[in-house]
Structure 1
Amino acid sequence: MPPKKKPTPSAPKPKIPAAVLDSRRGVKSWQEAAAWLKVRGIEDVECITPDLAGVPRGKMMPASKFTSNTSLALPSALYRHTISGEYPDETGNFRYDSRDSDIKLVPDLSTLSVVPWESDPTAQVICDIVGADGKNVPYTPRNVLKHVVKLYSDRGWKPVVAPEIEFYLVAVNEDPDYPLHPPKGRSGRSISGGQSYSIAGINEFDELIDDIYHFSEKQGLEIDTLIHEEGPAQLEINLRHGDPIQLADQVFLFKRTIREAALKHGIYATFMAKPMQGQPGSAMHVHQSVVDINTGKNVFSNDDGSPSKEFFHFIGGMQKFVPSSLVMLAPYVNSYRRLTPDMACPVNNAWGYDNRTTAFRVPVSDPSARRVENRLPSSDANPYLALAASLGCGLLGITKEIQPTEPTSDTANEGSIELPRGLLEALALLEGEPAFEEVYGSEFINIYAGVKRGEFETFMQVISPWEREFLLLNV
């Protein structure tokens, strides 16, 4: 009788380093993901991705299924509906997929983190969108930004950004026919305006802000600073500079985090560009620079510390092309209520050194930190699309060697408005700029324009208080 063969010992599973298991944000492999979820006792995983508006969409599943190679699919129509959930008519070059084919969610494991406000142990992961062929779907916001970043990397460069996000805290508003108003703080009184940089204004919402910090830390999100802005209960969070995709991910998650923290305290957080009449709007200012991938040197500065030709061409590109991409920075009818004179918001196409009245401000800095701040984006913008628009316009300026105007040293917000005054005008400029096809892709432009026209038509069905007040008995 032949001797029995000894079973071949299986290779020992590699030990997951403690640093990986302790990581608040991101893993490198599915094996690490399984261990990370297990050590935290995670029960559910939210697989989310931003739609055109930046709203999280996706699917939730048990943690065991998340690590079992489960295919996640969504209908392509998801990227063709308006902020109100409607599907607009086909117009111009806007068309629906006749089959409404599946598009697939591909988790980016570097974004894996806990969902700290959930009562049951829950994790979240941001997903990219691919088609049945495995290729990136070009019109989805994260992929639009990835394409712009690749255009930089093809030249040996890497863009660096630092967003600043303004938002309002408002009292619960159950009836949209009534205006918003500030919530009561710990003093028991509603906070008034004129509280710029007020520590007392921040302290009114100490417990809420503690939760924002706590939730952010649990997700591995870094807040640089937090301040009180000019409006009543208007706050601003500044994020540390870094990779555009990672920073867009952070803004995407920060918006969700801040809303959840506010709801825990019985108030709303809103990123509307202009939530309250007569008060300042909310912006998402973006600081931008470009570094050489190999050397890490700032492309905007020469070896002697002087500004480079790329620096001036970047500004020239923003001056020339940002007005035509404004609808990606100001995406709603409400966004253009913020873009009005005398409300601490630039309505021009000027640039200047340390001049906050210009659209494009160059802060005081060392040559290694030379950067351009785009002050036009509003906080309601999809962060992926806002960064793609801003960086794309700057890159076009460099590649086309566009010279900027002379810097403005005086107040730039006096006189005529140099930007589109409304959504439809901004859309026409987006569709009419041939240079954008290479940067953003014609498929994205066609879908985005169709959705925005649908949102405008929905808005036009609503009768405003202004119309009732001044037209009802006078015309």
Structure 2
Amino acid sequence: MATANAPSPSGSQLSEAQDFLAKYPDVEAVDIILTDFHGIGRGKTIRRHELEGIYKSGRGLPSSLFGQDVSGEDVDDCGLVQTGGGGDCRCWPVPGTLGYLPHTGRGQLLIAMYEEDGAPHDVDPRNVFGAQVKRAENLGFYPMGAFELEFYLVDQTPDAQGLYHPASYAITKRRSKLRNTMSVDEIDEMSPLFDAVYEGAKHLDLTLETLISEYGPGQYEMTIRYRDLMRAADDVIIAKRLIRTVARRFGKEAVFMPKPFGNEAGSGMHLHLSLAGQDGNNLFADQADGSLSPLMLNAIGGIRGTIGETMLLLAPFMNSWRRFASAMYSPASDDWGVENRTVALRVPGTPGKTRHFEHRIAGVDANPYLVAAVTLGAALDGIEGKIDPGKPCEDEIGEAKAPNDLPRHWLDAIDQFAASEFNKRTLGERFHTAFTKIKQAEYEQMALKVSAAEWEYYGFSV
């Protein structure tokens, strides 16, 4: 049983806290963050003297945090609210995630939830993914990967109509309504903000790499270094909070809603994935004759067969589905191809030992642990079943695609997710039931919201 001063079931070490306190003697508070179903950080801000105690004996938080909708409201029939008397479960540090945010002056620590006997809590999204990582390791595979993040920066204050606009630049204070795709001068005008983001990343063991000005006005993309897939998912949680908190210090807001502007590009969260062997070598590397790895092709085959069932995790909110209104660069499909950005599962064209594939469907609003869980789980199914992915798609951008049987809207995705045996098996029955109920409740709440556009089109004319 994990009790006071017992070994941490997460593998965290007290020395990590002690080293942090010695390195940052002026830090007086630390944000401890548990990631909920929606990818939102729930937790507490603790004082400096409390940090070592979390490494010694964990910290209690209610498991009902996982029974909330995106707004923090309890969903009573999800099976996770006020169970077992409503007591706390114990949360322990995620090793390697204790860091410092210089722009806030506080530390930051990711935590995960465990039962009192030290078993991973079965509905914590990080633990749900962890079960698939363990499955992979039992098969002799070590998942590797990275995520790309697309997002918008907007000014904090809306206009007189309540609408938000792309952020004015940090240097010049002007605002451009042009796309400025991949403009280095646009990045320069926002450089003080991004310099602060990169500075913060140095203190968080977070390697942010390429930054570009994306297709939409005020839209950017940051890539994160390829590494162990579990830590790559942690990196998304850390990076989003870093970007969001820095932006606020500059009078901006970072928007990870995938379609904040109806006529502009949506924001995705592309997952790059491969499997390493026990020797660290990439098992998806090209064959000696230059052909693609059969193991990678089987993994792609497994994922193709489950995309429809998992769309609710890849596009979890009502706004997520606006991103698929235009198929350009937002492939709501189950196809694959080599160096083809119209497909769902893209194999980048660079050949050789670094070969991997890119899952392109998820929006930036998706929970990275859940995206990784179903992607890895389906890939392993494909490998175990030696599933053929079929012929690669060779469609060109703008070319009409053949219809597929993927869900076409949010409610359809909820229904397909609920009926999926793959999701029950991969995510666990209790998680599957709770997530279904929460999304059904969220859909019902959103269905009651009457938009300004409905008043404009229908209010006085029908």
Where does residue 209 of structure 2 map in the other structure?
224
After superposition, where does 1:198-347 map in structure 2 within 5 Å? 198-294=183-279, 296-299=281-284, 301-347=286-332
User: Structure 1, residues 172-216: CA drift from partner, whole Å, max 9, x if none?
Assistant: 145897232112223443222432211122122111111111111
Where does residue 117 of structure 1 map in the other structure?
103
Of 45, 64, 73, 1:77 maps to 64
Q: Distance in 2 between matches of 1:378 and 1:155?
A: 30
Where does residue 114 of structure 2 map in the other structure?
130
Of 431, 436, 439, 2:418 maps to 431
Query: Quick check: 1:116–1:219 contact (8 Å CA) kept in 2?
Result: no
Q: Distance in 1 between matches of 2:160 and 2:271?
A: 31
Closer, same or farther in 2 for the Cα pair 1:184/1:70, shift >3 Å? same
Secondary structure of the 1:391 match is helix
1:464 aligns with 2:451: yes
Question: What number of residue pairs does the alignment pair up?
Answer: 446
Where does residue 171 of structure 1 map in the other structure?
155
User: Structure 1, residues 44-87: CA drift from partner, whole Å, max 9, x if none?
Assistant: 22221111111111123222222133541111110010111112
Deviation at 1:229, TM superposition (A): 0.4
1:97 aligns with 2:105: no
Where does residue 388 of structure 2 map in the other structure?
403
Closer, same or farther in 2 for the Cα pair 1:193/1:293, shift >3 Å? farther
1:40 aligns with 2:16: no
1:449 aligns with 2:400: no
Deviation at 1:28, TM superposition (A): 6.4
Q: Distance in 2 between matches of 1:284 and 1:140?
A: 21
Where does residue 128 of structure 2 map in the other structure?
144
Where does residue 14 of structure 1 map in the other structure?
none
Deviation at 1:372, TM superposition (A): 1.0
Query: Quick check: 1:347–1:417 contact (8 Å CA) kept in 2?
Result: no
Deviation at 1:415, TM superposition (A): 4.1
Query: Quick check: 2:128–2:373 contact (8 Å CA) kept in 1?
Result: yes
Closer, same or farther in 2 for the Cα pair 1:426/1:342, shift >3 Å? closer
Unaligned runs of 5+ in 1: 1-26
Query: Quick check: 2:158–2:165 contact (8 Å CA) kept in 1?
Result: no
Q: Distance in 1 between matches of 2:58 and 2:395?
A: 57
Deviation at 1:265, TM superposition (A): 0.8
1:388 aligns with 2:388: no
Query: Quick check: 1:94–1:446 contact (8 Å CA) kept in 2?
Result: no
Higher mean alpha-carbon deviation, 344-353 vs 66-75, is at 66-75
Higher mean alpha-carbon deviation, 398-407 vs 184-193, is at 184-193
Query: Quick check: 1:359–1:374 contact (8 Å CA) kept in 2?
Result: yes
Q: Which amino acid aligns with 1:72?
A: R
Of 327, 349, 356, 1:371 maps to 356
Q: Distance in 2 between matches of 1:313 and 1:129?
A: 33
Deviation at 1:94, TM superposition (A): 7.7
Secondary structure of the 1:357 match is coil
Q: Which amino acid aligns with 1:425?
A: D
Q: Which amino acid aligns with 2:400?
A: E
Where does residue 334 of structure 2 map in the other structure?
349
Higher mean alpha-carbon deviation, 82-91 vs 443-452, is at 82-91
Q: Distance in 2 between matches of 1:193 and 1:422?
A: 30
Query: Quick check: 2:91–2:111 contact (8 Å CA) kept in 1?
Result: yes
Query: Quick check: 1:224–1:237 contact (8 Å CA) kept in 2?
Result: yes
Where does residue 11 of structure 1 map in the other structure?
none
Unaligned runs of 5+ in 2: 1-10
Query: Quick check: 2:274–2:282 contact (8 Å CA) kept in 1?
Result: no
Deviation at 1:33, TM superposition (A): 2.3
Closer, same or farther in 2 for the Cα pair 1:149/1:32, shift >3 Å? closer
Q: Distance in 2 between matches of 1:33 and 1:116?
A: 17
After superposition, where does 1:175-190 map in structure 2 within 5 Å? 178-185=162-169, 186-190=171-175
Higher mean alpha-carbon deviation, 173-182 vs 29-38, is at 173-182
Deviation at 1:400, TM superposition (A): 2.1
Query: Quick check: 1:341–1:347 contact (8 Å CA) kept in 2?
Result: no
Q: Distance in 2 between matches of 1:38 and 1:208?
A: 28
Query: Quick check: 1:357–1:411 contact (8 Å CA) kept in 2?
Result: yes
Q: Distance in 2 between matches of 1:189 and 1:64?
A: 44
Q: Distance in 1 between matches of 2:235 and 2:16?
A: 22
Deviation at 1:230, TM superposition (A): 0.3
Q: Distance in 1 between matches of 2:124 and 2:204?
A: 24
Q: Distance in 1 between matches of 2:444 and 2:12?
A: 45
Deviation at 1:100, TM superposition (A): 2.2
Query: Quick check: 2:179–2:215 contact (8 Å CA) kept in 1?
Result: yes
Query: Quick check: 2:123–2:431 contact (8 Å CA) kept in 1?
Result: yes
Secondary structure of the 1:435 match is helix
Secondary structure of the 1:111 match is coil
Q: Distance in 2 between matches of 1:115 and 1:210?
A: 13
Q: Which amino acid aligns with 1:223?
A: L
Where does residue 154 of structure 1 map in the other structure?
138
Higher mean alpha-carbon deviation, 361-370 vs 225-234, is at 361-370
Higher mean alpha-carbon deviation, 147-156 vs 173-182, is at 173-182
